[in-house]
Structure 1
Amino acid sequence: MKSKLSKSQKIAQCFSPAAFIHDTEENHQKIELLIREQEIGGLTFFHSRHSAAANFEKRAEVLAVSGTLEKMIQLINRFQRIAKVPLLISIDGEYGLAMRIENTPQYPFAITLGALQGKAGNQLAEVGYRMGLDMKAAGIHLNLAPCSDVNTNPNNPVIGYRSFGTNPEKVAEYSMAMYQGMKKAGIAACLKHFPGHGDTQTDSHLGLPVIQKSKSELQKEELLPFQIGIDQGVEMIMVGHLAAPALSHSREIASSISKEIITELLKKEMGFGGIVISDALNMKAVADLFTEPGQLEWEAFHAGNDILCFSDHVQEGIAKIEANASEGEVDAVFEKIWNLKEKLGVFAFKNLEVPVFDWKSHSVFQSQLAKDYVSVLHGNLDPEELKHLADQGKLSHKTFFGRENTTFSSKLSQNYGSELSKTKLEQAEKVIISVFVPSHKPINQFGMDQTLVAELKNLAQAKPCILVHFGNPLALKHLGNFTDFEAVICGYQHFDEAQAMAFHLFQ
């Protein structure tokens, strides 16, 4: 089969356009046409057009969004059946299938895993392994994760919770551990977003971020996790849509279409010989640069990308690359992709069944992780004093941004023998404040209503308070200074297991 493919068929193997699980039948048929007529090499699955990060158009139709996993399995089976060359199926699941598909196992965010106190490397590898097994069972061959971005800019609108932290060596260790875990599970993974998206203030879904640092500064920070990954044999790297003029002869050009950054720096200078995959080519940082359909795809290929993700102009892109690239260039890229498919067992496709997840085992694992990341960031707790206050009816509990009946609140009530939220704040000598941050993204102060934030701050000024924060720790800065509280506990996630572990600190 391989030896009979034409130049355009080989080029088509580079393309992995988006497939939306919740979409119209008409759009599913358009994907079928791409498979039949263009013979694309793969598909990247997203939940829906509405939820795809780069899509900001208003949708007229309302689609049913239940049964996402079942629908994805049906679509993979449907699309694989008609593919002459089996498709490489990928998904962007940084914290598991749950990032795109409801009712599937969710793992902690990278920022949470960055807070692990135990044998973090082993735990990260286990997270990657379990995540990989979930994906493999669902017909996924490639997870577009983990992030190797060093989150040095606290105002970063797009990385934040997706980074393991601010220390380049730690980010390198953790991202490689997760990468190796996924590899052990039998799926492919990639480090992203080269050359490093951590110190940016623009969301590349909306515009072109620019990092104004010298090359030596970039080498010490942004580039370090990727260099360490390359030295340890990482096989795939995703290039982001961000400019680093110090790396591209002073030009403000997206790395994803810069030959200086991909071919000269990543491949030649840093010694990467694996597969380079582009970030989504429909993102505003690059999508609007070229008016002629297919030109962007050629620019990305010419710069050194092997897999073109989320291309909106597949047919024109194939034609443009065929017209401009040499047989040797095409063959070199094609061999990489074909070998990857062989290695991942893509050619041995069998009809998929809907996977059944072991939720009990998942919960046990979540609890083990929570034990090592839920932590007291400030102050101390005195459980005996709290019990004494509760017995006197002088301990209250107030929840902000969450439903009243949470796992944390019900465990507090069981422990103290009364529903603390019913103790009036005026009567209380001390208040436990639990915050369930509405959004893990920093837009509009992480979705926190400012009236409620003001109420929380006033309460902390009026009485001794213990703050228990469930959600992105970067949101803590909006709730006042740590010294405003008697103690600050960070639970990092809304998970029941994280709430249970936070409660244990009160016993």
Structure 2
Amino acid sequence: MHSIAPYPIASQKLSLAEKAGQLFMPAAFINDSEEEIERLERLISEQHVGSICFFHSRASAATNFEGKRKVVKNEGSYDTLKSLIQRYQNAAKYPLLIAIDAEWGLAMRIENTPQYPYAITLGALRGNDDLIFRVGRQIAIDCLSAGIHWNLAPVVDINNNPNNPVIGYRSFGEVATSVVEKATAYIKGTQDAGVLTSIKHFPGHGDTATDSHLGLPVIAKTKTELLEKELYPFKKLIDQGVDSVMVGHLSVPALAYGKHTSSSISKDIIKGVLRQEMGFKGVVISDALNMHAVSKNYPKKGELEWLAFDAGNDILCFTEHTKEGLARITEKARKEQIEESFERVWKLKQKAFGNQVVVSPTDESAPLNLKIAEKSLTLYKGTAQGVRHFSEKDFVALYNSSHFENPFFQAIGREKKFNKVQVTPSLEIKDRSVLMALFPPQVKPNNNFGFSDEELKAINTLIAGNKVHLYLFGNPYVLNHINTEKAKTIVICYQHFPEFQQVAANHFLGNLEAQGRLPVTIREL
């Protein structure tokens, strides 16, 4: 258990260089070598780094998109995480603020840890804010048990672009008021367990088709449009009180007097819109500064860190050039400028360490996921009566890929007899009653969610030639590639977790009604 001095004492005790060091948040990786671990320990000690953010491995980080290095699995990731946190804390003169992206749980970064539903699944709930509160709280407890103070979540971007390669399923939906409602429940649950949150990605990353890990997205909307949609959740949540706001790497000319500067290094957007117009007084944290939307434009070490700080970021996330950035900031910044950011960051640390509680890790994900599965299951097309009538018939069950053995078919198989057949380009079935279970290979939309063109063609041919009742265990935007008009029934299950498959089977067997509501719009083929 670490303690942290009150701000007035710390302000007198720390040198200006130490205060500037508190603004840096380099990345820490679970799968680092001993040499890399020791290098980060020295950086923390020598540069007085204030916080670190954990990622799985360097191979899975944004800078690896071109290298395509293989991501090595680590079955002992959780124990490694706890051990590394202790080592890095021991290296720090002042206690570190430990952060992680745990939007749907530590499983977002750490193997063999509890996973909760994606935001898009929570977006399908009709009310049931108590369940979202429980998700936020349980994730926070999981974080605390590992020694993490700060969950860089939730995403409050509006999900209004089906081709968005990086947000999509991470958003609660396309209706701004609903996003605010669900984000509020998530934040309150997180705060209830004493963990910090960060709403992201200001000023709104939803309506983009460019991945900011790779390039700079441009949002060509008027300020009025942005205030009605993209900025709406940020304003409402800021008014309620939030710990921090993460600024994304986005070009939004309407908020920057026509300039195409990335929002993450734009004084107009951070100091102007966020601070002055919206009145946010808390900590501003940059999105990862290694992301190529900005990093590839500033090859000189330390320059990007300086620009991000000077624009108004208090914490510089995923800084790759901490030493050079620190030197640049202490050389160019006004003393008052450093002091202002240091005060905000140190007070956030006080809150984090003041909230510390001793917790034991408990995996409560299964019962919570089951309840969310029951409440989010969405009947997109068809009727409950039609499903019940179909389930009494002789039918064939189709599945894609390697999902021959799945809890969905297993549960149904205990009450019904049917043949299971894998969908292949050469499969020929005509005029049959078909139960089709689709498990998209990936949750992101690139490369048709992992489906090959041949697979999609075969799926749509089978739907056109048979009486198909489709259960989709994945991102609902997959339906943009499906001939939904020809399907008799479409049920969206959102996740492939065993609990969601069990609920889907119970729905097919007529044991429960679908209660969810699709939080996004599907474009008909």
Q: Give me the whole-angstrom Cα distance separating, in 1, the residues matched to 2:176 and 2:112.
A: 34
Q: Give me the whole-angstrom Cα distance separating, in 2, the residues matched to 1:349 and 1:115.
A: 33
Of 326, 341, 362 in structure 2, the residue corresponding to residue 357 of structure 1 is 362
Q: Report the equivalent of 1:148.
A: 156
Q: Report the equivalent of 1:408.
A: 408
3-state secondary structure, aligned to 2:435: strand
Q: Give me the whole-angstrom Cα distance separating, in 2, the residues matched to 1:55 and 1:62.
A: 10
Alignment CA distance shift 1:463-1:337 (3 Å): same
Higher mean displacement: 465-474 or 443-452: 443-452
Alignment CA distance shift 1:375-1:293 (3 Å): same
Q: Report the equivalent of 1:451.
A: 454
Q: Quick one: which amino acid aligns to residue 378 of structure 1? A: K
Q: Give me the whole-angstrom Cα distance separating, in 2, the residues matched to 1:46 and 1:206.
A: 18
Give how far 1:348 is off.
7.5
**8 A Cα contact 1:50 1:59, kept in partner:** yes
Q: Report the equivalent of 1:386.
A: 390
Q: Quick one: which amino acid aligns to residue 421 of structure 1? A: K
Of 188, 191, 198 in structure 1, the residue corresponding to residue 206 of structure 2 is 198
**8 A Cα contact 2:60 2:71, kept in partner:** no
Q: Give me the whole-angstrom Cα distance separating, in 2, the residues matched to 1:404 and 1:23.
A: 36
3-state secondary structure, aligned to 1:209: coil
Alignment CA distance shift 1:318-1:502 (3 Å): same
Q: Give me the whole-angstrom Cα distance separating, in 2, the residues matched to 1:223 and 1:379.
A: 36
Q: Quick one: which amino acid aligns to residue 101 of structure 1? A: I
Q: Give me the whole-angstrom Cα distance separating, in 1, the residues matched to 2:32 and 2:449.
A: 29
Alignment CA distance shift 1:257-1:60 (3 Å): closer
**1:177 matched to 2:162:** no
Q: Give me the whole-angstrom Cα distance separating, in 2, the residues matched to 1:384 and 1:169.
A: 35
Q: Give me the whole-angstrom Cα distance separating, in 1, the residues matched to 2:450 and 2:68.
A: 23
**8 A Cα contact 1:12 1:41, kept in partner:** yes
Q: Give me the whole-angstrom Cα distance separating, in 2, the residues matched to 1:422 and 1:276.
A: 53
Q: Report the equivalent of 1:92.
A: 101
**1:272 matched to 2:280:** yes
Higher relative contact order (CA 8 A, sep 6+): 2
Q: How does 1:489-504 map to 2 (within 5 A)?
A: 489-504=491-506
Instruction: Name the TM-score, length of structure 1 as normaliser.
Output: 0.94
- The runs of 5 or more residues in structure 1 that have no matched partner are none
Alignment CA distance shift 1:291-1:433 (3 Å): same
Q: Report the equivalent of 2:480.
A: 477
Q: How does 1:210-229 map to 2 (within 5 A)?
A: 210-229=218-237
Alignment CA distance shift 1:320-1:420 (3 Å): same
Q: Report the equivalent of 1:68.
A: 77
Give how far 1:347 is off.
10
- The runs of 5 or more residues in structure 2 that have no matched partner are 1-8, 510-525
Alignment CA distance shift 1:489-1:348 (3 Å): closer
**1:162 matched to 2:170:** yes
Q: How does 1:360-439 map to 2 (within 5 A)?
A: 361-381=364-384, 382=386, 385-389=389-393, 394-416=394-416, 418-421=417-420, 426=429, 429-439=432-442
Q: What does the per-residue CA deviation read over 1:364-385, in whole Å, with 9 as the maximum and x for residues that have no partner? A: 1111111111121101244553
Give how far 1:357 is off.
2.6
Q: Give me the whole-angstrom Cα distance separating, in 1, the residues matched to 2:382 and 2:312.
A: 52
**8 A Cα contact 1:11 1:322, kept in partner:** yes
Q: Report the equivalent of 1:316.
A: 324
Q: Give me the whole-angstrom Cα distance separating, in 2, the residues matched to 1:116 and 1:449.
A: 31
Give how far 1:125 is off.
1.6
Higher mean displacement: 333-342 or 271-280: 333-342
Alignment CA distance shift 1:64-1:224 (3 Å): closer
Give how far 1:60 is off.
6.9
Alignment CA distance shift 1:494-1:156 (3 Å): same
Q: Give me the whole-angstrom Cα distance separating, in 1, the residues matched to 2:71 and 2:222.
A: 48
Q: What does the per-residue CA deviation read over 1:268-310, in whole Å, with 9 as the maximum and x for residues that have no partner? A: 1111011100000011111022232111111111111001000
Higher mean displacement: 63-72 or 482-491: 63-72
Q: Give me the whole-angstrom Cα distance separating, in 2, the residues matched to 1:261 and 1:422.
A: 54
**1:33 matched to 2:42:** yes
Give how far 1:328 is off.
1.3
Q: Report the equivalent of 1:285.
A: 293
Q: Quick one: which amino acid aligns to residue 389 of structure 2? A: E
Give how far 1:92 is off.
0.9
Give how far 1:246 is off.
0.7
Of 2, 14, 21 in structure 2, the residue corresponding to residue 5 of structure 1 is 14
Q: Give me the whole-angstrom Cα distance separating, in 1, the residues matched to 2:68 and 2:444.
A: 23
Higher mean displacement: 18-27 or 187-196: 18-27
Alignment CA distance shift 1:92-1:61 (3 Å): closer
Give how far 1:83 is off.
1.1
Give how far 1:9 is off.
0.4
Q: What does the per-residue CA deviation read over 1:31-84, in whole Å, with 9 as the maximum and x for residues that have no partner? A: 011111111001100000111234325377985622111111110111111211
Q: Quick one: which amino acid aligns to residue 235 of structure 2? A: Q
Q: Give me the whole-angstrom Cα distance separating, in 2, the residues matched to 1:60 and 1:486.
A: 43
Alignment CA distance shift 1:175-1:53 (3 Å): farther
Q: How does 1:108-127 map to 2 (within 5 A)?
A: 108-117=117-126, 119-127=127-135
**1:246 matched to 2:245:** no
Q: Give me the whole-angstrom Cα distance separating, in 2, the residues matched to 1:215 and 1:59.
A: 38
Q: Give me the whole-angstrom Cα distance separating, in 2, the residues matched to 1:229 and 1:426.
A: 52
Q: What does the per-residue CA deviation read over 1:179-238, in whole Å, with 9 as the maximum and x for residues that have no partner? A: 121111111011100000011121110111111111111111110000001111112100
Instruction: Name the TM-score, length of structure 2 as normaliser.
Output: 0.90
3-state secondary structure, aligned to 1:204: coil
Aligned residues: 495
Higher mean displacement: 50-59 or 289-298: 50-59
Q: Quick one: which amino acid aligns to residue 16 of structure 1? A: M
Alignment CA distance shift 1:318-1:426 (3 Å): closer
Q: Give me the whole-angstrom Cα distance separating, in 2, the residues matched to 1:186 and 1:347.
A: 5
Q: Report the equivalent of 1:44.
A: 53
Q: Give me the whole-angstrom Cα distance separating, in 2, the residues matched to 1:234 and 1:63.
A: 36
3-state secondary structure, aligned to 1:85: coil
* Matched-pair identity in %: 43
